[in-house]
Every structure is written in C-alpha cells, then in structure tokens.
Structure 1
Amino acid sequence: MATFPSQAELQQFYIGKDIKDVPKPAAILDVAIIRRHCETMLQTVKTLNVGFRAHVKTHKTPEIAKLQIGNNPIANFIASTPLEIETMIPLLQSLQKTRPTNILYGIPLVPSQIPRLAKIAKKLGPNSLSLMIDHPDQLPFLADFAREAGSPANIFVKVDTGYHRAGLPPSSLNKNGLLEKISAAEAAGTAFLLGLYSHSSLSYNGSTPQIAMSHLIAEIRGCKDALESNAHLLLKEKKRELVISVGATPQVVSSQNLLRDDSCVEARELRSLLKDPDLNVELHAGVYPILDMQQVSTNAVAGLGGIEDEIALSVLAEVCSVYNDGERERAEALVAAGTLALGREPCGGYDGWGVVSSWRRGGDGDGDGRLVVQRISQEHAIVAWEGGLGLEKIPLRVGQVVKIYPNHACVTGAYYGWYFVVDSDLDGEAARVVDVWVRARGCAITDPLLDPRSI
C-alpha cells in the first residue's frame, strides 16, 4: 500500500526548487493572486457592510481559508465534506480565540454523518458548527446530533431560488410542516435557526457584470420572498434577525462592481437590496481566490485582467510529442495530462479543456493565437491552436514543461494530494516553490479522536 509523505516532509524536500523539477502533472498555486483576490473580497464586504461566509470546498486547505477570512470580525466558513471541516479544526480553534467562528456543513443532513459531525462540534464547542435542512424527515437527526454533541445545532433552511440542485422554493418552504417542526426543535433545545441559505450557480452561464448581478438580485429577492411569506412561522415569538446567505462566485464577485461604477440598473437595484435595513445579507463564495477559465468567462467583474493575472491555479505538464511535419491535417502536440489531471468540464467562453499559459514560451496567453487543450483522454491530451484554423507549427518541443489553466478549479484540484505554491510577488516568473499545501482529500478521518467508533 502506498504511503504519502507528510506536509513537513514535502516542504523540506520541495521548497526552493524550480517547479519544472517537481513530479508532473502537478497543481501549481500562485499565492500572490490568491492574496489579492481575498483582500479584494474582504474589502468589498466591509465597504458594502454585509456578512461573508468563505467556502473551502474548492481548495480544501486551511492556508487559503485563513487568507479568505483575513481580519474579518466574524470567521464564517462552509465546507462540503466532514474531512474538510476536520482539516480546518486547528485554524477554527485559533480563530475562536479572537472572534465568533462557525463552519457550515453545506450538504442537507444525512444520518451517517451525524456521529462524525457531532464529534467535531463537541471539540469546537457550542455554536461552532451549522447544518443544512431542506426536508422535515431530517429533523429527527438534529436530536441525535444535539445529544452526541452536547449542544444544539445551528441550522440554515435551504432555499431553491432557481438552480434546482437542493432546497425548497420560497412558496413551499413549509413543506409538510417543516417550519413548525423547526420551531418545535428550538423549543426542545435541539436546534437554533440561523436563517435561509441559497446557492445558485446559474451565473456560471453569464457573460457580463449585469448578468452576474441580476442572478445575485434574484437570489436575494427569492430569500426575501421566503422570509415574508413565512414570517408568521419563521419569526413567531423570535426576537432576532434571520440571516439570508446567498451566493456563488460569479454573482458574489459581481458586488465588486458597486465599488467602481453603479450606474447600470442592476447595480442600483443590488445596492438598494444590500442596504435594505430589513435584510441581514450574508454573501458566500468559494472559487473566487483561485478562479479558472469558467469563472473568467463570466466577466462578472468589469475590468478584470487577463487569465495570466487572474487565475491562480495551473496544471504543470510535459510535452510528450509534437506533430509539426504534416503527420496530421494541422499541427498538434501531445501532453501528459488528461481528464484526471485537468478535469473534463466545458467552458462557455471557448472551445477547449484548458488554455496553455505563456509561461516560458512567449506570447501573452490571451486573445488570438492561443494554444488550447483541444482533445482530452484519461492521462493525456492534444494541444492545438484555438479555433482549429492555425496551420503554423506548434511552438513546443518534446520534454518541455507547460502550464495549463483548467476550466474548473474545483474539479481539477480533486486529482491532487497537494499544491506546489509559488509567489509571483517575490518571483516574477512564478517558478520557485515557496510552500506546499496539502488538500483534504477523500473521506478518511484525520484525527482518531474524531472517529465516531470511539463514541
């Protein structure tokens, strides 16, 4: 059985090396870009005076999570797996010393996860862990959780504002008496309702800031409608303000447009909603520190730079062969990175599975004349000129190392156990390894004390 090196061993061995010398395919992160995106987001929510909850499911590392939360006075997170939460425990415990800290398990609750989540909550303390509810049959699980954790769960009710992945529509939020049953759970001391939660990725198909902002507006309005139509159930005898948590990266980063120019109709409407004194809005997003070809293609933020400046994640691969001598109808190259290393996610902005960076090969990496991953197999891919019209030779050589910007950072990252970190602020070529960050990967339990079998 293969054994994996520890993070300390990886750091000792790789820090200081040129990335061309690391095993490939490899996932490379430019921390300078990540820092900039995180700082921009934190400044945006501060200026707009709205809440913020950072999703960790894209990167699955405490290092980026720490950058996401920065000096925000409240440290709220979301995770998609219990392992992600377990990996975050040391960071969460550190943040708890200086500010309120909470992490949401962002999947509607299932019974198999209760012992593990309860162990985490017991370790972190009351109000540290939140759960997602969208069906009345999930409510008995809350009593089991509270008993094992020693404290009630904070909960969000999942609202479906049009994406149809999970949740209830605003008009049917009280499915089979769900809201009355939540009130009963509160009275019994097994739950505490934080608010409503919507996550809509419809904005991934957009191509302008206005479209992205319109999707955020729709989410806020959907949750507002849910609050208003169910106020007699949600707010009955409750002297508190419920949170509306909304977002996905394109529409959340679109709020940055309000700091630049809010002259368009969508910007004015969005600003009005965010300033509504009757709404307690919390924005949530995950892939924004890293970005990818999908995110850039949404053009959610006016004036965003080129992909070389904005996408922090690239996949390092070697050129296996080059077909420049008439072997095929057009010149192509074969690289040793395929579906597993890059992901097989399409992108509305172009026809391809990744874009080859200009790193160490010249060119600007944007506009005409781009090299793209044109065809893809499990372990290898074909690189060609974008559009299929270029007859000129491919400017690559056998053995050359290239960087490829993937379409979807979340899916691409799943292949890798760790990231090699570079810093273009320190090294303009972004070629020297300055750190190694290990990802939470799979479903293994990282801390024996959290093993539900020890309950």
Structure 2
Amino acid sequence: MEPHRMLQTAGDFRQYYVGKHVTQLPKPALILDKAKMYRHCQSLLDAVEYLGVDFRAHVKTHKTLEGVRLQAGEANKEVRLVASTVAEIEFLRPLVREFIESGRPVNILYGIPLPPSQVDRLAAIARQLGRGTISVMIDHTSQLSHVARFAEQAAFPAGVYLKVDTGYHRAGLPPSGLNKDDLVSKLMSLDNQGTINFIGLYSHSSLSYNDSTAEQAMANLKGELSGCLDALEENARLFPSDREITISIGASPQVTSIENLLGAEGNLSEGAQSLKQALRNAVTGMQCGFRTRLELHAGVYSVLDVQQLSTNSRAHFGDYEDEIAVSVMAEVCSLYIDGERQQPEALLAVGVLGLGREPCAAYEGWGIVDRDAYSPNSPHPDRRLIVKRVSQEHSIVSWGLVNGHGDEDSQQPIPLQVGQTVRIYPNHSCITGALYGWYYVVDSSQHPEQVIDVWERANGWKMPIAN
C-alpha cells in the first residue's frame, strides 16, 4: 500500500520503504547494492596501497555521503575527492567536517577549469572548511583572475592543477602548448606571491572507454602518465626545481587496470610489468629533474555499469549480475509475442528519462535485463534480453546480440509476464543515477532483494538560499 502523504526527503522514504522487497517500490526505482560497491571501492583502495600511489575518488557517479564513505575507506588517511559540480561539494560539507574532526585531512577538487560564476560559492565553502580543503584546475590565462579572486574571498589560496590534454580532447592543453600565452609562467608568479598553491598536472583521459582488454587499459594508463611527464619535461624551466609536483591521471577503466598488477611479479604480462615499472618510477624516482607524486583518480569504478564491464579492464571481472551495483527496477506493461512484430518484444514502463541514452560498444542496446527475470535455471546462457529501443518514458525489450552472442535466439519467445518487475543494468551509471533523487539500497551479501537504506543524491546545480 502506498503512503497517504507526499514523501519528500530521503528520511521519509527510509521510514516507509526500509524492509520492503524491491518489487514493492514505486517504479521505476534506482537500486544500489552496497555490498558490491564496498567490494569495488575496497579492491581499488587495496591496489593503490600496494602500489604506493595516491588516490582521488570522483563522487560524480553516485553523489552521496554514504558512497564517499566507502570510497574514502576506514583507514586514518587523507581524503582526496573530485566533484563535477559545486552543489556536490556543498552537499558533502557535513561529511568533510566529520573527516577533518577525526584527524583526516580533506581536499576536494572542482573538476572542470574554473568558471567565474563558481568562485564565490567555492570560496565560501573553503572559508567554512579551512585552508587546503579546496582545489581547482585551470587551462587558460583568463582563469588566473578567478583563482586570484578566490584567494581574496577565502583569505587563503586554492590548490591549483594545470589541466593537460593527453589525447582525449575534452579539456586541457597539450604538453607542447601548456605554456600558451605564458600560462605556466604567470601561474608560477602567482604561486610565488602566495595567491595560489600550485599542486601539479592533471589529466583525465577516457580513451580507455573504447578498450576491450586489460592490456589496452593498462597501456592507456601508461600513455596518460607519459603525456603528463612530456608536459613537465617540455616546460621544465618554468617550474621550481625544489617543489614536489603531483601528476594526477585517470579514468575508471585504466585506473582499475592496476588491480591486474597485484599478482606475483613473474606471472605479470609484459604490459603489466611495463606499467608497474612506470608507476614505480613516478613514485620513487626523479622525473624530468623533479620529485613527483603520483595520484590516480576514478569515479564510476565504485558501482560499474555495462560500459565499464565491456572494457574488460580487469582480468577477473564477473558477469553483469555479479559486478554492477546500480540497476533500475521497471515493470512490464505489455507483450508482443504472437507474431504481431518481426520478433518478440516487451514494453517496459521506463525510458530515456529513467535509463539515459548512453551507447555502449559491446552491443546495440540501452540496458541489459537481469537473467533472474527470465532464466533462473540457466546461470550463463549466451542469449540476453536487452533494452533495444527507448522513448521518453517507455522502452522495448527483445533478444539482442551482446559481445558477439545471442543473435540466433532473436525469434525465441520472451519469457516475461505483463506486470512483472525486471531489473535493468544501465550502460552508464553516472547518467542513470542523475535521473533519480535517491537510491534504494540493498545488500546482496545478506538479502539482495530487501531495502536496507535510502541514500539521497546531490543532483542538479542547487544555489544557496539567500538570507
């Protein structure tokens, strides 16, 4: 029975839905498996610990306080985060204060080159949280006035990364053009004056999203590191030689590929050995005459999705049901399985506004249906039901070709029922999550179908309320 009053907050939803079966939720519903998320976060924390590198967790995928706790881990270490919106950073303030009060230094990086409209809000957050808590990135000389204004308003400088384009071409300057319009020279002058705190070079390269093997992902991570070192070498005369310079690189497929390095040295592939040596050099050696510190960053690794699994960046990835922590529960509205169409199809009550419309190279669809909906007695069949077509609020499910398998089954009956609830794994968890205000949380290590909590998301670009 649905509640008789409007539920408005995560607390309201928590009070009403905790303990219920996922099929009892209002649908479409966004589900997050805490056990899977914990496993992914912890395995990457173990890998960076083993390799002796720093890690900066991107919060843009889940945008929750509880998810940040899992990404930060329980060790009493510095917490490094990166966020895509100032609203996310504002939302995180209570948790950041908690970390700081417990003795864990925190630094949050605003994840795009600093626009002027965000300076006031970032400076206000920095004043509340303290010196060293906020960093920004720049790739244009006009942004220098923005970081100077930040220092005036916060009464201390922001940490600053120079954004390097290592081939992805979304933001940043190429290594050979990093000093465009004397950007590096002017930046270091501001650093000498105490107006900024120069940290290092930052690259985000999602070229690995097109990978399909662990070797490719590892090669992409090594290539991104090489690009940043090229930028450092080509502009070496402009950086102070007595400073430790952080090299921050990453995207989830190539960063999670470091988990392939944890085996015995003699069992590593040539590519894995080469990457391990490159990472070791960046941590322990002098690079281009500078002491360097290596920082990896990633975000969607924490929950994964169909796109991430298609990269095969880790040697021991399981199947979609085993690994993906985010899913959408939706109802079957109707069936067309008696010759009405060229192949059997089902109509679902969820569309673009509940799944997103991010393509994936592994197959032709917009989401993959959990096998439990149609094949409980066949744990690993080649055939897959996929979301093949999407409208605004509805979609069509049929048999699809996934990773080269299943096309021969396209005319087989679809074993779904009208009114049935199915679970869909999205192509891109970041986009799908943004379409909902909260996650219904389950724990597959205990009861995978029972809601144990509700986590609120920091969606949108909320502005502070004026007094």
Is the TM-score greater than 0.5?
Answer: yes
Instruction: Quote the Cα distance in structure 2 between the aligned partners of 1:17 and 1:71.
Output: 29
- Say yes or no: does 1:86 pair with 2:90: yes
- Say yes or no: does 1:437 pair with 2:442: no
**Larger deviation, residues 317-326 vs 4-13:** 4-13
TM-score by length of 2: 0.92
Instruction: Quote the Cα distance in structure 2 between the aligned partners of 1:131 and 1:184.
Output: 17
**Larger deviation, residues 24-33 vs 262-271:** 262-271
Cα RMSD of the aligned pairs, angstroms, is 1.5
Give the 3 Å change call, closer, same or farther, for CA 369–444 of structure 1 in structure 2: same
Instruction: Quote the Cα distance in structure 2 between the aligned partners of 1:74 and 1:55.
Output: 15
Q: Percent identity?
A: 52
Measured after TM superposition, the shift of residue 307 of structure 1 is: 0.9
Paired position in structure 2 for 1:379: 393
- Say yes or no: does 1:318 pair with 2:338: no
Q: Deviation digits for residues 215-266 of structure 1, max 9, x if unmatched?
A: 1001101111111221221225xx3211000000000000000013663222
Measured after TM superposition, the shift of residue 376 of structure 1 is: 1.0
The aligned runs of 1:241-390 (5 Å cut-off) are 241-260=244-263, 263-276=268-281, 277-278=285-286, 279-363=292-376, 367-387=381-401, 389=408, 390=410
Instruction: Quote the Cα distance in structure 2 between the aligned partners of 1:193 and 1:168.
Output: 17
Equivalent AA in structure 2 for residue 301 of structure 1: R
Q: Deviation digits for residues 27-80 of structure 1, max 9, x if unmatched?
A: 100101000001100000000000000000011111111100103511000000
Aligned residue-pair number: 444
Instruction: Quote the Cα distance in structure 1 between the aligned partners of 2:105 and 2:234.
Output: 31
Alignment check: 8 A CA contact 1:357 1:365 kept: no
Paired position in structure 2 for 1:131: 136
Instruction: Quote the Cα distance in structure 1 between the aligned partners of 2:379 and 2:127.
Output: 49
Instruction: Quote the Cα distance in structure 2 between the aligned partners of 1:433 and 1:57.
Output: 23
Q: Deviation digits for residues 337-362 of structure 1, max 9, x if unmatched?
A: 11111111111111211110023543
Measured after TM superposition, the shift of residue 313 of structure 1 is: 0.6
Paired position in structure 1 for 2:439: 419
Per the alignment, in what secondary structure is the counterpart of residue 341 of structure 2?
A: coil
Give the 3 Å change call, closer, same or farther, for CA 3–199 of structure 1 in structure 2: farther
Instruction: Quote the Cα distance in structure 1 between the aligned partners of 2:380 and 2:349.
Output: 23
Measured after TM superposition, the shift of residue 3 of structure 1 is: 7.6
Measured after TM superposition, the shift of residue 213 of structure 1 is: 0.4
TM-score by length of 1: 0.95
Instruction: Quote the Cα distance in structure 2 between the aligned partners of 1:149 and 1:425.
Output: 45
Paired position in structure 1 for 2:11: 8
Paired position in structure 1 for 2:21: 18
Q: Deviation digits for residues 297-349 of structure 1, max 9, x if unmatched?
A: 00000021111010001110000001111111211100011111111111111
Paired position in structure 1 for 2:124: 119
Measured after TM superposition, the shift of residue 367 of structure 1 is: 4.8
Equivalent AA in structure 1 for residue 386 of structure 2: V
Equivalent AA in structure 1 for residue 38 of structure 2: R
Give the 3 Å change call, closer, same or farther, for CA 249–367 of structure 1 in structure 2: farther
Equivalent AA in structure 1 for residue 123 of structure 2: A
Q: Deviation digits for residues 406-435 of structure 1, max 9, x if unmatched?
A: 1011111111000000001111xx111000
Equivalent AA in structure 2 for residue 305 of structure 1: G
Measured after TM superposition, the shift of residue 366 of structure 1 is: 5.1
Measured after TM superposition, the shift of residue 6 of structure 1 is: 1.8
Alignment check: 8 A CA contact 2:159 2:196 kept: yes
**Larger deviation, residues 345-354 vs 282-291:** 345-354
Per the alignment, in what secondary structure is the counterpart of residue 399 of structure 1?
A: coil
Q: Deviation digits for residues 270-302 of structure 1, max 9, x if unmatched?
A: 111111123311110000011000000000000
Measured after TM superposition, the shift of residue 365 of structure 1 is: 6.6
Instruction: Quote the Cα distance in structure 2 between the aligned partners of 1:412 and 1:4.
Output: 22
**Larger deviation, residues 137-146 vs 184-193:** 184-193
Equivalent AA in structure 1 for residue 100 of structure 2: Q
- Say yes or no: does 1:154 pair with 2:159: yes
> Which residue among 18, 42, 63 is the counterpart of 1:39?
42
Instruction: Quote the Cα distance in structure 1 between the aligned partners of 2:128 and 2:156.
Output: 11
- Say yes or no: does 1:170 pair with 2:190: no
Equivalent AA in structure 1 for residue 394 of structure 2: H
Paired position in structure 1 for 2:404: none
Paired position in structure 1 for 2:207: 202
Alignment check: 8 A CA contact 1:294 1:348 kept: yes
Instruction: Quote the Cα distance in structure 1 between the aligned partners of 2:25 and 2:10.
Output: 15
Paired position in structure 2 for 1:75: 79
Unaligned runs of 5+ in 1: none
Measured after TM superposition, the shift of residue 186 of structure 1 is: 1.4
Equivalent AA in structure 1 for residue 39 of structure 2: R
Alignment check: 8 A CA contact 1:307 1:366 kept: no
- Say yes or no: does 1:50 pair with 2:61: no
Unaligned runs of 5+ in 2: 287-291, 402-406
Instruction: Quote the Cα distance in structure 1 between the aligned partners of 2:132 and 2:330.
Output: 44
Alignment check: 8 A CA contact 2:7 2:13 kept: no
Q: Deviation digits for residues 162-190 of structure 1, max 9, x if unmatched?
A: 00000011111111111111112112221
Alignment check: 8 A CA contact 2:373 2:416 kept: no
Equivalent AA in structure 2 for residue 432 of structure 1: Q
